[in-house]
Amino acid sequence: MKTLSGASLLDFVSERQDRTTFQNLNWTGMFKDYLDIVTEDPKVTRSAFRRIYDMIMSYGTEEFIDAKKRLIRYKFFSDDSFDGDDAIFGLEIPLMRLVNFFKGAARGYGTEKRVLLLHGPVGSSKSTIVRRLKRGLEHYSRTDGGAAYTFDWYPGHLDEGEDALAIPEDKWEPCPMHEEPLDLVPLDLRSSFLEQLNAELPEDQHISIQGDLCPVCRFHYRELMRRYAGDWTKMVHHVRVRRLLFSEQDRIGVGTFQPKDEKNQDSTELTGDINYRKIAIYGSDSDPRAFNFDGEFNIANRGIIEFVEMLKLDVAFLYDLLGASQEHRIKSKKFAQTDIDEVIIGHTNEPEYRRLETNEFMEALKDRTVRIDIPYVTRLRDELKIYERDFNKKKVRVHIAPHTLEMAAMWAILTRLEDPKKPNLTLLQKLKLYNGKSLPGFTEDNIKELRKEAQREGMDGISPRYIQDKISNALVSNQEEGYINPFMVLNELEGGLKNHALIKSDEDRKRYRDLLTIVREEYTEIVKNEVQRAISADEEAIKRLCGNYIDNVKAYTQREKVRNKYTGQYEEPDERLMRSIEEKIEIPDSRKDDFRREIMNYIGALAIEGKTFEYWTNERLHKALELKLFEDQKDSIKLTSLVSQVIDKDTQEKIDVVKARLVRDFGYNEQSATDVLNYVASIFARGDTRAY
């Protein structure tokens, strides 16, 4: 193998650099250049709320119907172009409420003056949603549609006609709060300036200037205006506008505040602190140059600030939120209130929120908070996506047998659902209805009723983190086996219940164990069905059986006879054959005529549409045919002989064919297919051949 040299590796990187994009993202220009950008694209001046709303909408939406309810799915929350590991599934309704909050704030309807609080049980994706908004904002600021700008100061001397952009980088002093360059427009001229600027723009793109300069920028502004005897046009030559790229790592436009030990909490972490080293240089602690405006509120200006476990903060910190949310102002020590433009978003668990509700001294904060509940997922297919994202072939080398993640997800959902009030509906059936499966006797209206009658569905139960931990344990414990199956994971889930810190009572613990029993029974039925389908997967045999059944049903419904293909004689319809198929899907004798007419009407409707009937087009008939074929073939395969381990060559060949079908069609590997066949064989050996 040829070894690459250091020089060739450098060439490899050099050839693939995108210097044009780098230069665009690091654009600098004078104030007049920025005004040209503003007139071409007024969106660069938008508020933080509008920027985040536009960011979400830039990824597009899709409508879907759930229980006759039209819902919108915002693709931003599941897009994998950035942070694919943080994709969010199954929370369409809470996310619709979240986006509506941003929509109202973007249009200035009042929610921009509120603190957004995500509330829900542990592990329900609250912090994931905030993290995705932060990462999305970083990514969006690097696109043309998400461009934003700020400015730097050059406090030194400028000669007449000197090019300010040629001044060395280290001579410029950045605005510590990444403010909007239009904030430099004098207050007394803003109204007429905006009138001129908006004259050519559509009304929905009109620009406004909301904030005032921060203390550092006010100082430079004031000093330069004095130097030039009030000539604003000369003062602004000391301003360099540049592209603003949001980055939590660089503390630009994205801030995070996390509660610490009460004795170590300090409000200066939010609003900045005095730089004592610079007091000796500038002579006063009230000189803005001797103050570090680097608190989380300062650096998050123009973007977003996250309060982790917000209600665990000391009360003194929560007071800072009042002015920051309602007035969009913060108070730094020794300075007047400073304008900010940022989204304030926090998240909390239920115990802390209940404490806030009972604290009569926090009425002001409660009044300025918009709470959005983030429950656990209650739809099986969405919960399954969470685990498939972490445990897939790319990330896990150990084979995961089919239905392993599905059964873990099923148990998690069952723990979160409330028992249905309908006496003829089980919790497992409720799960299947929520997952979009049709059940006899239930309509989409019933699903809407089930959701309405639930009081706290999704706000209690088992967290996805617990499931992920136990799947991980199973993978580690069974590496020698070469694969894991549902029973291994379910055993891990059950074993961890006795030490689960968040289970509040023995009654809950017992309920969760009972639900594991339900899941094991469901899995047994699923694998029995798969083995049956693998055995009866002879397509030609099913076609022949279907054709025979349809010929007999047609003759029966039209009161005719059937021509025997072998003898050529006309005979009565084969009632025994028809009933042997219909009984497989529990069609009672009293309903056989209705079912047969239903099949013939279905075939007739297809014919009118110009379509041909195939055995798989009717799901119930397809299942009945498979089960009938299985009954006819299982004795020839002698699956139960697997249990005794005494298998003749002919039987072994047939079993190998079934095993190959399990591997090819259902996703098993050699070992897991063998174990499933052995398990199902032991069930049949006990005489349990009930169809799924």
For 463-519, write each residue's pLDDT tens digit. Answer: 999 999 999 999 998 877 788 999 999 999 999 998 888 887 889 899 999 999 999
Residue 84 has pLDDT above 80, yes or no: no
Q: How confident is the model at residue 692 (pLDDT cuts 50, 70, 90)?
A: very low
Range from 278-287, 417-426, 497-506, 508-517 carrying the lowest mean pLDDT: 497-506
Percentage of the chain beyond pLDDT 90 is: 50
Give pLDDT tens digits for 96-132.
999 999 999 999 999 999 999 999 999 899 999 999 9
| Residue 50 Ramachandran class (φ > 0 left, ψ -120 to 50 alpha, else beta) | alpha
Residue 74 has pLDDT above 70, yes or no: yes
Question: For 502, what's the count of Cα atoms within 13 Å in the CB-facing half-sphere?
Answer: 14
Q: What is the dihedral of CA 616, 621, 625, 626, to 10 degrees?
A: 60
Task: Say if residues 294 and 272 touch (Cβ distance below 8 Å).
Answer: yes
Q: How confident is the model at residue 256 (pLDDT cuts 50, 70, 90)?
A: very high
Identify which has the larger pLDDT, 200 or 146: 146
CA 247, distance to chain mean position in Å, is: 22
Task: Say if residues 113 and 410 touch (Cβ distance below 8 Å).
Answer: no
Token output for 590: 């009293």
341 burial (CB, 10 Å; 0-12 / 13-18 / 19+) is: buried
The CATH 3.40.50.300 domain(s) of the chain lie at 23-189+210-375
CA distance 388 to 390: 5
Give pLDDT tens digits for 553-612.
999 998 888 887 777 788 888 899 899 888 888 888 898 999 899 888 888 888 888 888
pTM score: 0.84
DSSP, collapsed to helix, strand or coil, labels residue 438 as coil
DSSP, collapsed to helix, strand or coil, labels residue 459 as coil
pLDDT value at position 691?
A: 40
| Residue 461 Ramachandran class (φ > 0 left, ψ -120 to 50 alpha, else beta) | left
Q: What is the dihedral of CA 479, 484, 490, 493, to 10 degrees?
A: 40
Give the closest residue to 154 by CA, choosing from 81, 241, 78, 212: 241
Tell how many helices (H) and how many strands (E) occur in the chain.
29, 19
pLDDT value at position 635?
A: 57
Strand partners, 71: 64
Task: Say if residues 86 and 131 touch (Cβ distance below 8 Å).
Answer: yes
Token output for 685: 């050996």
Task: Say if residues 428 and 525 touch (Cβ distance below 8 Å).
Answer: no
Q: Does domain 23-189+210-375 have CATH number 3.40.50.300?
A: yes
pLDDT value at position 394?
A: 86
Task: Say if residues 29 and 35 touch (Cβ distance below 8 Å).
Answer: no
